Amino acid sequence: MFALSVSTHFDWRLALDDLDGSIAHAAALHRAGLLTDEDHEAMVAALQQLRADVARGAVTADPGDEDVHGALERLLIERIGPQLGGRLRAGRSRNDQIATLIRRWLRREIRLLTLDVLGVVEALRDQANAHLGAIMPGRTHMQTAQPVLLSHQLLAHAWPLLRDIARLQDLDKRAAVSPYGSAALAGTSLGLDPELVATDLGFDSSVPNSIDGTAARDVIVEASYVLAQVGVDLSRLSEDVIIWVTPEFGFAKLDDAWSTGSSIMPQKKNPDVAELARGKAGRLIGNVSGLLATCKGLPLAYNRDLQEDKEPLFDSVDQLHVLLPAVAGMVGTLRFDADRMAQAAPRGFSLATDMADWLVRRGVPFARAHDIAGAAVQFCEGAGIGLADLTPEQLSEIAPELTPQVLDVLTIEGSVASRNGRGGTAPDRVREQIAELGATAAAA
Ligand code: ARG
């Protein structure tokens, strides 16, 4: 029974939050006239001393303690005796305690993780700034589509991360509601004020329903989803990096510090950071799925199943604390080969749309323009040449609308520069975008 029940090996990390909760609860008991001034003072002094000892690692749970709450109550009673120490439990339950502590812990971790996510955004932005001239093949279906700026592609990985930060900040509104005072499920009869405890613990307010306060874990699930989304966004970025650093692509090289060799193949430089990011994403998705499954079908109010919420949440947070700085390091030290990307950019007839758009600007209906450009691609494929290699004779043979001026737009620079609407890949637009991204990140 004990081996199954015990949770101190993972919930001890909530010890300082538990003690802060106890200090706030002691104040509530005092205000309600359930602790004399003298008792309140002695209780808070002992709790503060215990807090300092826990913070420096001088005390910890005993093997016989079931959970962090029981361990800290035991330690308090050992220090001030059962006559005073035994008063603290009045009007509260481990059910409202744990629901409150995990939210408080989460709110702090969310802020720390936000900084880690911003580190990756910063690395992407710095690389985008440093390579404004570089043009690469943009892809859809993994097939060459249209040329884009490398900076545009890098920023396309930064925006989702900024949305993840917005999600974290938004869920903090829901995490900022304290369940303390809900007691076991029905609330307290001792005249304690949950709003004052909430304020003392840095929450915005207290829960309007004590059953919901002790039973709900949707905020934990929501956080684990956002953390999984961060993992998925890092995984997609990593997949790009993994492809770029293959010798076949050769668009970028990894820094030695952020890659590994092979124990047998001397030539290898493996993208382990990116691969671990991809792998961790699976694990983070597993944590959300597990949490949802734990909550599904649980009757109100508290059930011991809910003890299973902590390890997946802690795991998602811990994994990202390690992963995010590594991804930032990998991205920040990538060395891009602009020449190789530029050589690849026009391959696969990626300028065919530019030919069609050129025809449209000259009054040709797009359907006809699409056919003409398609015929040009077919012709070039047969002749083993690129679109830009077509002679004036060949052009007019393909379609009378195709004059030699079309060759002016059949360059990757011309193609990129022409996509100059908001959000497009034209260098001026991307420069604006870098500024907009910087402002969004600074406001986060
Ligand atoms: N260790 C428990 C948890 O993490 C704390 C609440 C236990 N409450 C109870 N009535 N057994 O959920």
Question: Is 385 inside any structural domain?
Answer: yes
Quick one: 86 and 101 in the same domain?
A: no
Closest CA to 252 of 274, 278, 281, 279: 274
**Residues whose beta carbon lies within 6 Å of some atom of ligand 1:** 7, 11, 67, 94-95, 98, 304, 306-307
Query: pLDDT value at position 261?
Result: 85
Domains in the chain: how many in total?
3
Q: From the CA of 334, how far away is ligand 1's center (Å)? A: 47
Amino acid identity, residue 106?
Answer: L
ipTM value: 0.96
Ligand 1 atom having least distance to the Cα of 306: 12
pTM here? Answer: 0.95
Answer whether residue 264 shows pLDDT above 90: no
Q: How far is the CA of 94 from the centre of ligand 1 (A)?
A: 6
Co-location of 67 and 34 in the same domain: yes
- Please identify which of the residues 141, 224, 370, 396 carries the catalytic annotation: 141
Would 7 be classed as within a structural domain?
yes
Q: Report the nearest-CA residue for atom 4 of ligand 1.
A: 307
Residue identifier of the C-alpha nearest atom 11 of ligand 1: 304
Query: How many angstroms separate the CA atoms of 437 and 210, rounded?
Result: 42
For 318-371, how does the pLDDT look when each residue is reduced to its tens digit (9 = 90+)? 999 999 999 999 999 999 999 999 999 998 899 999 999 999 999 999 999 999
Provide the terminal-to-terminal Cα distance of the chain, rounded to the nearest Å.
46
By most ligand atoms within 8 Å of CB, the mutation choice from 67, 69, 73, 93 for ligand 1 is: 67
Q: Can you give the three-state secondary structure of 152-220, one letter per residue?
A: HHHHHHHHHHHHHHHHHHHHHHHHCEECCCCCCCCCCCCCCCHHHHHHHCCCCEECCCHHHHHHCCHHH
Q: Is residue 423 assigned to a domain?
A: no
75 belongs to a structural domain: yes
Which residues, listed in sequence order, are joined to residue 178 by a DSSP beta bridge?
206
Question: Among 343, 372, 392, where does a domain finish?
Answer: 343
- Identify the pLDDT of residue 391: 95
Residue 146 CA to chain centroid, in angstroms?
29
Residue 228 has pLDDT above 90, yes or no: yes
Considering the domain architecture, whether residues 55 and 183 belong to the same structural domain is answered as no
Of 13, 14, 68, 98, the residue with max ligand 1 atoms within 8 A of its CB, to mutate for a pocket test, comes to 98
Would you say residue 161 lies in a domain? yes
Shared-domain flag, residues 73 and 102: no
Please, which pLDDT band fits residue 263 given cuts at 50, 70 and 90? confident
How remote is the CA of residue 178 from the centroid of ligand 1, in Å? 17
Residue 214 lies in a domain: yes
141 is catalytic: yes
Give tens-digit pLDDT for 131-187.
Answer: 999 999 999 999 999 999 999 999 999 999 999 999 999 999 999 999 999 999 999
At a CB cut-off of 8 Å and minimum separation 6, what does 442 contact? none
Task: List the CATH number of the domain containing 254.
Answer: 1.20.200.10
Q: Coil, strand, or helix at residue 363? A: coil
What is the residue range of 380's domain? 352-410
pLDDT for the residue numbered 137: 97
- Per residue in 397-422, pLDDT tens? 999 999 999 998 899 999 999 999 99
Output the CA–CA distances (angstroms, integers) from residue 344 to 123, 191, 350, 419, in the order listed.
25, 73, 10, 19
- CA 15 – ligand 1 centroid, Å: 14
Amino acid found at 433: Q
Q: What is the CATH number of the domain that holds 14?
A: 1.10.275.10
Task: Verify that 332 and 218 share a domain, yes or no.
Answer: yes
41 and 112 assigned to the same domain: no
Q: Are residues 247 and 332 in the same domain?
A: yes
Looking at 62, 90, 118, the residue that finishes a domain is 90
Rounded to the nearest angstrom, the distance between the alpha carbon of 32 and the centre of ligand 1 is 26
One domain for residues 86 and 123: no
Pocket probe mutation, ligand 1, options 304, 305, 306, 310, max atoms within 8 Å of Cβ: 304
Residues 299 and 156 in one domain: yes
Tell me whether residue 336 is in a domain. Answer: yes
How high does pLDDT run on average in the chain? Answer: 97
Determine whether 440 is exposed, middle or buried from the number of CB atoms within 10 Å of its CB (0-12, 13-18, 19+): middle
Torsion sign across C-alpha atoms 208, 15, 72, 12:
positive
**Is 125 within the bounds of a domain?**
yes
Q: Are residues 338 and 357 in the same domain?
A: no
Q: How many helices (H) and strands (E) does the chain have?
A: 18, 6
- The CATH number linked to 357 is 1.10.40.30
Contact 96, 180 (CB under 8 A): yes
Which is it for strands 252-253 and 135-140: parallel, antiparallel or unpaired? Answer: unpaired
Residues 80 and 110 placed together within one structural domain of the fold: no
Q: 49, 65, 90: which is the final residue of a domain?
A: 90
Polymer length of the chain: 444
21 and 151 share a domain?
Answer: no
- CA atoms within a 13 Å half-sphere pointing along the CA-CB vector of 193: 10
Tell me: the pLDDT tens digits for 60-96?
999 999 999 999 999 999 999 999 999 999 999 999 9
**Which two tokens mark 224?**
């684990």
Residue from 5, 205, 262, 321 carrying the catalytic annotation = 262
CB 79 within 8 A of CB 42: no
Which residue, 122, 152, 114, 120, is CA-closest to 135? Answer: 152
